[in-house]
Amino acid sequence: MTTYTDYPFTANGVNFISRIYSNSPNVESIASLPEGLFAQLNIDAVTELLGDASLFTRDELLEELERVNEGGTHSFILLDEGSN
């Protein structure tokens, strides 16, 4: 069974989750970052990749995130559908 840790963050008023698989070589590095830095890195990534997320419909966001996550193996950016 694959396990993961979810790191919630908000970009332009839209709630996302950065999901990192437990077997990722980045887990220890992420855990050692100062409080808030990993969230800021994710906010910057979403802004760079999508622009202003608040301008997208839910379906458009899901489509864009599918494109962004394509080929991913250790980490993914997901829409936090329980919080939007």
Per-residue confidence (pLDDT) for residue 23, from 0 to 100: 87
Q: DSSP string covering 57-80, please?
A: -HHHHHHHHHHHHTT-SSEEEEE-
pTM: 0.90
- What dihedral do alpha carbons 69, 33, 15, 6 form, nearest 10°? 60
Pairing of strands 4-11, 75-79: unpaired
Domain locations in the chain as residue ranges? 4-79
Is residue 17 within 8 Å of residue 8, measured between CB atoms? yes
Exposure on the CB side of residue 57, measured as CA atoms within 13 A:
3
- Mean per-residue pLDDT pooled into runs of 10, the chain (84 residues): 90 96 89 94 96 96 96 94 82
